[in-house]
Amino acid sequence: MLTFLKRISIILLLTVLTQVGGLIYLLYQAVKIILEKRSRNKMGTLGRIGLYLTLYLVATFLIIPPIAKQFGRVPMPYYATQKSAIKPLTIFTYLLNRHYVKPRLVEVIARTAHTLKKEFPNCQIVYLDANFPFWNGFPLLPHLSHNDGRKLDLAFVYKDAQTLKIRNTSPSFTGYGVNETPRKGEVNQPNICRKKGHWQYSVLEKITPQWNKDKIIVDDAKTKRLIQLLAKQKAVGKIFLEPHLKTRWGLGNYAKIRYHGCHAVRHDDHIHLQL
């Protein structure tokens, strides 16, 4: 009974984290039984972990991408090159299969990265969570709306506080939770939401280490330009940004740049983009 409950929890956890990990776990159980029958030996812990990881990585890099393509989703680029200045903030984004989007969204990002790089040669687009490979309506937690291949989160453009050079990274190791908080005189939407009782609005800030907040700082001009280039594209439907940043960065003319409401989490730590 305990083993059964343990296995169900493992499957649930892997499914929530990676969508396909739970299914691969079932496959792993089957392969393990076959291998143990053949060798008439129980597999050790290392062998079991090795077997699961092998199956998982083969599926992630070789089997899922072509199947996802049949369902209209493709992976975002794994790393930046001379030609394509796009990369994930961390390898976990693609190791966990959280980097799938509609082909049109890749085109939008590729065009934007190209222009951005022309204007600022060292500037790359750093992406965060996108969508899982399959099934419209299957949310990529904690982002409930990232469930159809049409959503993508991007990091702001950051620079080193000392050298002022572009860093192409984020002060937060997940890309979330280190905020560009409202200054004196700016609209303080997080405060408004807190007073209305939306406790979740700023929760990521509370659980994210803030060590790099003063070392890696936002580059206002380049982030503004990045958002402008995105907003100008026809294919882009909405961009979510905290109201004080829309004002601070002089983006008031773009109706596509919206406020998302208190029921979500705050958006002064990243850009949410959707078709």
Residues in contact with Zn ion by the rule CB under 5 A? 143, 153, 272
- Least distance from C-beta 151 to Zn ion, angstroms? 5
Distance from C-alpha of 87 to C-alpha of 94, rounded to nearest angstrom: 10
Closer to Zn ion by CB, 143 or 246: give it: 143
- Least distance from C-beta 272 to Zn ion, angstroms? 3
- Least distance from C-beta 219 to Zn ion, angstroms? 21
- Least distance from C-beta 271 to Zn ion, angstroms? 8
Closer to Zn ion by CB, 7 or 260: give it: 260
- Least distance from C-beta 143 to Zn ion, angstroms? 5
Closer to Zn ion by CB, 24 or 236: give it: 236
Nearest residue to Zn ion, scored by beta-carbon proximity: 272
Distance from C-alpha of 21 to C-alpha of 142, rounded to nearest angstrom: 17
Closer to Zn ion by CB, 28 or 97: give it: 97
Question: Which residues lie below 8 Å from residue 164, measured CB to CB, with a gap of 6+?
Answer: none
Closer to Zn ion by CB, 153 or 269: give it: 153
- Least distance from C-beta 85 to Zn ion, angstroms? 21
Closer to Zn ion by CB, 111 or 238: give it: 238
